[in-house]
Structure 1
Amino acid sequence: MRLPIISSDDPASPNYKDKPARSPNFQEAESYCLWLAEKTELPFSLPSEAQWEYAARGRGQAIAFATDTGEVELDKYLRGPTYHTDPMQPVSGNVLIHSSIEVERRPVGSYPPNPLGLHDMTGNVAEWTKDWFRPGFAHLSTRNPVAAQPSSEHAGKRVVRDLAGIGDHTGGNATVYARTGRSLDSYYQGFRCVVNQPEPINQLP
């Protein structure tokens, strides 16, 4: 079973239904994963920050970018105008790193997946995780770490990964370890859901 693509309701953007959403706030993203869990009877949720990075690194490998090669070959798409550029022009390179939040997204699956078969973990849109944001990782367990409690200094912010999809981010900020905190009502992020069970899912009901 192929799950529906979660897209932004943006008719001004060509073929927007084929693109990843870039508007859900944190609650909307979390609610979708919970709805998916209810519909499928599988333990879907937003990923923890550790889950996200482990998958982006292809099971924790020492790579900088979550692409098919671990390197970045920029799509020439960025060389044109940055506002509603036609995303149906031919794909080049292996990643879309945004120079502005106005740069169009590519349809899901436009670029080769990483070695785990996951698309767009570098580029296209930034992604929510379920962790509360704090600088650094000293407060986390070394096993299955999740920042489950907010800090007073950064109250109300959750971790966002894949900063290549936010805007004004290139080079080092496109890496699998770049991170920031965003307020819960912040937009311009996307998301993906994970299934929290050890057995592989060969076929969804």
Structure 2
Amino acid sequence: MVHVPGGRFTMGSNDHYPEEAPAHPVAVDSFWIDARPVTNRQFRAFVEATGHVTSAEIAPDPRDYPGADPALLRPASLVFQPPRHRVTNHADISQWWTYCLDADWKHPLGPRSSIDGMDDYPVIHVAYADAEAYAVWAGKSLPTEAEWEYAARGGLEGKEYAWGDELMPGGKPMANTWQGAFPNENLLTDGYARTSPVGTFPPNGYGVFDMIGNVWEWTQDYYAARHHVNADRPCCAVRNPLGAERERSFDPALPAITIPRKVLKGGSHLCAPNYCQRYRPAARHAQPIDTSTSHVGFRCVVRDA
């Protein structure tokens, strides 16, 4: 783990997606953070020690999904697959996301795949409960959104990226993101079509790797459409915020089911200049706590006493 000294910073941004606003001062106490995302090797040790079964390995309860196709009520997870036809409308994400039966952390691309030779890759297909269970087992916690963003900035204030103001300074990839027009063209300038071994790209100013790109990372905070700021004292830094109160997302296809969402941070290998420009510390995304995918992982923190 890497020690991050406490301090004050400007959280969020007024210049990009609306959910990142308003930019506001925040103070955090010192803490330790995993230098790299949790890997397959580390997660395997947890599973072997505890017998934990991930959400993706458990068939959904039909009572929770009335009217659902019984053939789909099997263990499954979402897997990115390059589209078969050229995409012109990014609104329909089913063009590149597949509900893949029997995909899980051990079988990242489906039942015929494996993680052999991928011990140092970030574990994926983990829902929020899986990440939280690992953190408890390890004697750690998941980071708050504020802790995560503060650590990702690496001591840089007011910069677009974790390393400065250029996405690829001198043409050099600083993180595992998508180069080219997503999802039709991946130039592979960074050398990776999917995830990459943790620590492949340079660390930030605190010595932390992979805070940007590779995989999105879970945080403790429930999602809200904007940052909550005290309107009476907008200039005063809130200390160690935990974000929104419990948030619920209503699925229109399943109106009887409420699915709380948590904040993801950091972007992934699927973020591109023309789509999801969330490879920045300020960027954030909502993820239902029961949903696992092939581009979401996590890391842990330990707070100083």
Q: More strand by proportion, 1 or 2?
A: 2
Letter of the structure 2 residue corresponding to residue 147 of structure 1: G
1:9 to 95, 98, 106: 106
Task: Look up the SS of the partner of 2:278 in the other structure.
Answer: helix
Conservation of the 8 A alpha-carbon contact between 1:164 and 1:170? no
Letter of the structure 2 residue corresponding to residue 197 of structure 1: D
Could you state the TM-score of these two structures normalised by the residue count of structure 2? 0.50
1:12: Cα distance to partner? 4.0
Aligned to 1:197: 304
1:148: Cα distance to partner? 6.0
1:108: Cα distance to partner? 1.0
Conservation of the 8 A alpha-carbon contact between 1:9 and 1:17? no
Aligned to 1:19: 121
CA distance in 1, matches of 2:38, 2:298: 11
CA distance in 1, matches of 2:106, 2:248: 35
> After the TM superposition, which residues 88-127 of structure 1 pair with which residues of structure 2 at under 5 Å, given as runs?
93-98=173-178, 99=182, 103-127=193-217
Task: Look up the SS of the partner of 2:240 in the other structure.
Answer: coil
Task: Look up the SS of the partner of 2:297 in the other structure.
Answer: coil
1:66: Cα distance to partner? 2.0
Letter of the structure 2 residue corresponding to residue 143 of structure 1: R
1:185 to 252, 277, 290: 290
CA distance in 2, matches of 1:113, 1:36: 23
Q: What percentage of residue pairs aligned between the two structures are identical?
A: 30
Task: Look up the SS of the partner of 1:195 in the other structure.
Answer: strand
Letter of the structure 2 residue corresponding to residue 131 of structure 1: D
Task: Look up the SS of the partner of 1:130 in the other structure.
Answer: strand
Aligned to 1:129: 219
Task: Look up the SS of the partner of 1:18 in the other structure.
Answer: coil
Out of 172-181 and 145-154, give the one that drifted further.
145-154
CA distance in 1, matches of 2:146, 2:153: 10
1:59: Cα distance to partner? 3.5
CA distance in 1, matches of 2:133, 2:127: 10
Aligned pair count? 172
Task: Look up the SS of the partner of 2:137 in the other structure.
Answer: helix
Conservation of the 8 A alpha-carbon contact between 1:66 and 1:114? yes
CA distance in 1, matches of 2:127, 2:220: 12
- Structure 2 unaligned segments of length 5 or more: list them: 2-33, 41-104, 108-112, 184-191, 231-236, 251-258
1:159 to 240, 259, 263: 263
CA distance in 1, matches of 2:203, 2:115: 24
Out of 16-25 and 170-179, give the one that drifted further.
170-179
- Structure 1 unaligned segments of length 5 or more: list them: 38-43, 77-91, 199-205
CA distance in 2, matches of 1:60, 1:196: 21
Aligned to 1:61: 157
1:122: Cα distance to partner? 0.8
